[in-house]
Structure 1
Amino acid sequence: MKKQFAILLLVVMILMLLALSGCTGGAKLELPTYADLQSITVQEIENGQPVSREVSLHNELQYYQSHSPDDVYFPTKDYRQITKESQMPTSDRSLAYRFTDNTGNTRLLNIYSDKNYNYIEEPGIGVWREKRSKAQWAQYDLSYKTYEDNSWAQAFLDTAIDKSFSLLPEYNGAEKAIFIDISEEAVSDWVERFIPEAFVAKRAEDVRYVVLCDIASKTYEGYWYVPETGERLDDSYDVEYKATVYDLVTGDTTVLVEMTVNGMTEIPDYIDAYFEGIG
């Protein structure tokens, strides 16, 4: 009798551990490897409707095909299919990933998270979930960062050095703005910098105005050094800036300031004045 009770207790403990770990007893999720894929796209979804264009993850796919061809895009080792109706999640926000394999077949996976779990849903097939620790980032947040970075880059940042900007075909009429700094011979992706709150673009499809900051003059002043040792550090320059607004709807270009006299600190005042004039 004691032996039977011990076995029963062990079974109960195992079931409790499975429940705590988020396992539902369902099937694992199998995904194609990078080597099996010809394309990956991602699209932002709110309340079941797309609110962005499909953004290609071509560069990421190429990188992983070269370095980790046998890996998969989402590590699914700890995901289990939900088999109980009571555990089925709901979410207002998700990211829709479209995987197209080398034969042309396509799979759609929706990614979302709540405070306890990450979810992967394959419409018409099932929902898989992974128990997330408190220290672990939500898969939705990680995926959103990837989507956002690629969206901004493909829409505006990749052509910023050439000062070439076009209104997205998917422009939604929001009349928002972004700030792009190319003054250090590299493109800053801090797109909300200096933009008045009412005009900050949430996504690339919102953008009508691009505020571009470039170098107007750069004068060598000397270099920094360590007095005690004489060790030479970085060079020092006096830098002044030019700021220009591109209206992607009308095609107009407005120079806010040809050359600052007090550096970058002047730029926000010129930007504020411009948007006050159109607000």
Structure 2
Amino acid sequence: MTSATATIVTQNAPAELARAIEGSQQRAKRKKTKWSALTVALQVLSLVVALGMWEWAAASGSINTLFFSQPSAIGTFAIANAEGLWNDTLATLRATVFGFAIGSVAGVAVAFFITSIPLLDRVLQPWISVLMSIPRVALAPLFLLWFGITETSKVALAVSIVFFMVLVSTAAGLKSVAPDLLALGKAFHASPWQRFRTILLPSCVPSIFAGLRLGVVTAILGVVSSEMVASSNGLGQRIVLYGQNFQSAGVFAVLALLAIITGVMTALVAWSERYLLRWQAM
């Protein structure tokens, strides 16, 4: 190989490497899309098969429809009671969103504040552990006593659950930030706000969203639990009502609605995480 040829090859190497990397990324993206589509198809198929087996078992008398109902009866019940179910879905969803939002913001803010003062963190850790260990359902009567049979009592119970989930998860993420990064920020005389924006927040985003994913599920559980104890509306109140009247189709209809709400809210949190991480990478 002559020196001129070697020079040309050397000059073209970066461009060829870039094309190779881009091609590899595109193949990986196509493969990921293919597997994602297959996963969704299998998930839908498994649901259809499960519902079909359930319907067959109910129609053949293999299961007692008084206790287990059947998909066709559940669908008929949901359509017949659509207006009432819709109104109660909105009531539960509204309390869940408020509780989740307030608990999440408060949890993140308190986590940043506590971890910024090591002594305060060490003092409060035992109390946080004690408060987390209290079953939240046991607090529902207290919230009802304090706030009455109102939406506030439902929101309060959801906040008490989400707050600690997000607090503990965010605090763990903050404590795992590399000390070298913090030392580097101080060496460059970065202000507390600059250290927060460029070091702390990006480093603990995954931990924050881990808490949010748990929080969105537990927020729904908290609201429904409060509604089951005492409420004038909401899906939890309907579960109790239908259960007391042996309307298993109604109970399963409400459970299906709760599953849909949980799935949608969890997907929104996951999408927000992907969007934020992609934005940070730009």
> What range describes the TM-score normalised by the shorter chain of this pair?
under 0.3
Provide TM-score, normalisation by structure 2.
Answer: 0.22
Please state which structure has a larger fraction of its residues in helix. 2
Please state which structure has a larger fraction of its residues in strand. 1
Provide TM-score, normalisation by structure 1.
Answer: 0.22
- Asked which structure has the greater RCO (Cα within 8 Å, sep 6+), the reply is 2
